[in-house]
Amino acid sequence: MKIAVLYICTGKYDIFWKGFYQTSEKYFLTNHEKHYFVFTDSTSISDDHSRIHKIHQVSLGWPYNTLMRFKFFQSIENELKEFDYIYFFNSNMRFLSNVGEEVFPSEEEDGLLAVLHPGYFNKTEKDFPYERSKRSLACIRKGEGKHYYMGGFNGGIAKDFLNLINKLSQNIETDLSNNIIAVWHDESHLNAYLLNKKNRILSPAYGFGEGWPLPFEPKIIVLDKNKFGGHHFLRETPPQKTGIVRKVKRWLYQKVKGN
């Protein structure tokens, strides 16, 4: 199979590329042909390998670097049509052990793969941080939804994932035109899109927060950004704009521990 890996590392996030690439080559779908599409403005990332394709992307700042990811992906839609499967990974992810064909969803699963969010895998709908505003196209009404998916790892059969990319890009553009940004940006829109899909669902072992007390053997770890300067440094935003994010993450961590 031909596999497309989508990866964004604008600004200071290029610090994560080398570790991601090396562990992906070692552990991810090693029996298949992988091509990396790296959206970046970094001059330190080399594209002299035939399977690494750099797409110049300037940093849009927070939260647009994450919110507009589907728009980025649309820019190479024709290239992506040549692949069998497409997967997106957050920049600060690392593979720890073999990840194989369990990531291949079937047509019966609507051709899409999603990973349970490590903070909500054992929670119920009332705890999920869905977008609740009816003004947003990411809205999920109270009483709906069985799962909350992380935005950092998703993918699927190329044609089905391209449908997701195009629809979510359109929905986000519509929200922005109405001066709306969903509560958790692209992740909110992803959850709304997958709400009534069947989906291949993977456990938080495939999105294991570094240092989190989770009852899974980690296969893919999400590195703690505080060890790399923190959100403020990486996003190049004033500290006061990221303070609420830190508070939410501390609260979420306590919830996971059961405190």
CA-CA distance, 132 to 137, in Å (whole number)?
10
What φ, ψ does residue 171 adopt, rounded to 5°?
A: -65, -40
pLDDT at 246 over 70: no
Reported for 228-233, long-range contacts at CB under 8 A and 24+ positions apart, including other chains, are 228/15, 228/16, 228/92, 229/12, 233/12
Residues with active-site annotation: 187
pLDDT digits (tens, 9 = 90+) for 109-126: 999 999 999 999 999 999
pTM: predicted TM-score of the whole model, two decimal places: 0.89
Q: Which residues contact 138 (CB under 8 A, 6 or more apart)?
A: 130, 131, 171, 175, 182, 183, 188, 189, 191, 192
Token pair in block for residue 189: 């829109």
Mean pLDDT of the residues in the chain: 90
Peptide bond into 63 cis (omega under 30): yes
pLDDT of 237 reads 65
pLDDT of 245 reads 47
- Secondary structure of 56-119 in the HEC alphabet? ECCCCCCCHHHHCHHHHHHCCHHHHCCCCEEEEECCCEEECCCECHHHCCCHHHCCEEEEECCC
Torsion sign (Cα): 42, 43, 44, 45: positive
- What domains lie within the chain, and their CATH numbers? 2-257 (3.90.550.10)
pLDDT digits (tens, 9 = 90+) for 174-194: 999 999 999 999 999 999 999
Place of tokens 């609507």: 110
pLDDT of 225 reads 80
pLDDT digits (tens, 9 = 90+) for 66-76: 999 999 999 99
**Portion of the chain with pLDDT greater than 70, in percent:** 88
Question: Of 49, 193, 206, which Cα lies nearest the Cα of 115?
Answer: 206
CA-CA distance, 139 to 61, in Å (whole number)?
24
pLDDT digits (tens, 9 = 90+) for 217-240: 999 999 988 776 665 566 666 655
pLDDT of 257 reads 43
DSSP 232: H
pLDDT digits (tens, 9 = 90+) for 128-154: 999 999 999 999 999 999 999 999 999
